């Protein structure tokens, strides 16, 4: 939709949001920052309802007759299946493009705008993954049909950010006053950057940054946190941070960021592993999160501990996407 609501990534201080009244319908989902904390609370309330949708319950047909197009210009099986499952759990239908970049008219030189104008004729909502930052915003500006950004290159992946915050709320029971350790690749991880932005909407948040030197959090996020009054500190001591935080958010060191420097990759990768010792240092109520996929940055023996929240976190992605599809298609 020609959006009334989404913000500019570079002008976050002036983010417009939609009215947070109880009755509302979202237009598009382009950036996590487009929402204020009241809207987030409302979305989370709908997501909680979605946890109760069962086969053949009335809720399971709320999107009957609606058609979602998943337009993926780069593959992401996990995200695609999560959206398609969400749509089908609510009785809706799906048109799939697993590799729009290679297969579609894009290969013949068609613009994104023309593709969107065609696909909007076939569907009621478009879920788009693209390799270019800003692609989702361009799509939303082109069509009256709601657009969900399922990741646009180095840009945003707002449903991931929402499910992360929802998971913290579900696991810890609060967002104000939360202590979150962000661990691993903080320079390139779009996930931790978005999460930092969203956490800044809450009161008395403390963020610990734990990462190898080559992939430290960039200054723009640190400055943003400071400007919002969020306390943060960098640390090299994972055990100490683990003993203090409510949430330990681990991420994968991405090999593809290191090019030829395999040596640097190997060094960075082995530095902060969440294993049984780290778990032992953590508080009883604290949890380990991870956006998945993981390699060995969380050892497998952690999985059985009830504080290992990452598979519940993946499942929460389903509820968040169900909530968003409902809010975008039929409203509150």
Which residues are the active-site residues?
Answer: 78-79, 108, 129, 157
Contact between 253 and 188 under an 8 Å Cβ cutoff? The reply is no
Phi (first) and psi of residue 28, to 5 degrees? -145, 165
To the nearest 5 percent, what fractions of the chain are helix, strand and coil?
A: 45, 15, 40
Closer to its own copies by CB, 93 or 267: give it.
93
Determine how many CB atoms are found less than 10 A away from the CB of residue 114: 13
Per-position x/- string for 261-300, each x denoting binding to its own copies as judged by CB under 8 A, each - no binding: -------------------------------xxxx-----
42-71 mask for its own copies (x: CB under 8 A)? Answer: -------------xx---x---xxxx-x--
102 binds its own copies (CB under 8 A): yes
Q: Which residues, including other chains, have CB under 8 Å from residue 185's CB and lie 6 or more apart?
A: 192, 211, 215, 251, 252, 253, 254, 257, 268
Take residue 209 and report the two structure tokens written for it. Answer: 């940054």
> Is residue 154 a contact point for its own copies (CB under 8 A)?
no
Distance CA 253, CA 242 (A): 19
Residue 211 or 313 having the CB closest to its own copies = 313
Question: Can residue 227 be called a binding residue for its own copies (CB under 8 A)?
Answer: no
Q: Is 233 in the site for its own copies (CB under 8 A)?
A: no
Q: Which is nearer to its own copies, 153 or 281 (CB)?
A: 153
The residue range among 73-81, 195-203, 213-221, 226-234 that interacts with its own copies, by the rule CB under 8 A, is: 73-81
- Of 310, 324, 6, 316, the closest CA to residue 155 belongs to 6
Whose Cβ is closer to its own copies: residue 73's or residue 202's? 73
Answer for the pair 148, 324: CB distance below 8 angstroms, yes or no.
yes
Beta bridge partners of 104: none
User: Residue from 89, 157, 269, 271 that binds its own copies (CB under 8 A)?
Assistant: 89
Is residue 25 close enough to count as binding its own copies by CB under 8 A? Answer: no
Is 14 one of the binding residues for its own copies (CB under 8 A)?
no
Site string for its own copies, 234-263 (x = CB under 8 A): ------------------x-----------
Q: Which helix or strand (DSSP H or E) is residue 150 part of?
A: strand 147-152
Find, among 299, 295, 321, the residue nearest to 308 by Cα.
Answer: 299
Coil, strand or helix: which one is 69? strand
304 binds its own copies (CB under 8 A): no
For residue 168, give every residue at least 6 positions away whose Cβ sits within 8 Å of its Cβ, in sequence order, or none. 175, 178, 180, 246, 247, 289
Comparison of 113 and 277: residue with beta carbon closer to its own copies:
113
List the interface residues with its own copies, window 109-138 (CB under 8 A): 109-110, 114-115, 117-119, 121-123
Q: Which residue has the tokens 């023309």?
A: 114
Task: Report if residue 108 touches its own copies, rule: CB under 8 A.
Answer: yes
Q: Which residues of this protein are in contact with its own copies, per CB under 8 A?
A: 55-56, 60, 64-67, 69, 75, 77-78, 81-82, 84-85, 88-89, 93, 95-100, 102-105, 108-110, 114-115, 117-119, 121-123, 252, 292-295, 311, 314-315, 318
């Amino acid at each position: 939709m020609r959006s009334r609501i989404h913000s500019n990534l570079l002008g976050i201080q002036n983010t417009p949001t939609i009215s947070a009244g109880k009755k509302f319908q979202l237009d598009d989902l382009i950036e996590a920052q487009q929402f204020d904390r009241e809207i987030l609370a409302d979305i989370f309330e709908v997501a909680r309802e979605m946890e109760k949708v069962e086969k053949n319950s009335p809720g399971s047909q709320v999107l009957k007759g609606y058609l979602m197009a998943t337009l993926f210009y780069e593959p992401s099986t996990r995200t695609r299946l999560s959206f398609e499952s969400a749509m089908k759990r609510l009785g809706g239908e799906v048109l799939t493009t697993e590799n729009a970049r290679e297969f579609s008219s894009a290969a013949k030189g068609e613009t994104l705008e023309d593709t969107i104008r065609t696909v909007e004729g076939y569907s009621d909502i478009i879920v788009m993954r693209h390799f270019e930052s800003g692609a989702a915003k361009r799509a939303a500006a082109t069509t009256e049909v709601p657009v969900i950004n399922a990741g646009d290159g180095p840009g945003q992946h707002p449903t991931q950010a929402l499910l992360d915050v929802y998971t913290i709320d579900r696991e810890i029971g609060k967002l104000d006053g939360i202590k979150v350790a962000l661990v691993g690749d903080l320079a390139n991880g779009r996930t931790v950057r978005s999460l930092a932005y969203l956490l800044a909407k809450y009161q008395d948040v403390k963020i610990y940054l734990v990462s190898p030197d080559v992939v430290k959090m960039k200054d723009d996020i640190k400055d943003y946190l400071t400007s919002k009054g969020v306390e943060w500190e960098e640390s090299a001591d994972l055990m100490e941070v683990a003993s203090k935080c409510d949430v330990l958010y681990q991420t994968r060191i991405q090999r593809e960021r290191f090019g030829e420097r395999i040596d640097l990759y190997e060094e960075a990768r082995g530095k902060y592993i969440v294993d049984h010792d780290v778990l032992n240092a953590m508080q009883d109520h604290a949890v380990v999160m991870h956006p998945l996929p993981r390699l060995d940055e969380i050892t497998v023996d952690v999985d059985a501990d009830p504080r290992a929240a990452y598979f519940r976190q993946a499942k929460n992605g389903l509820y968040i996407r169900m909530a968003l599809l409902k809010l975008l298609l039929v409203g509150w």
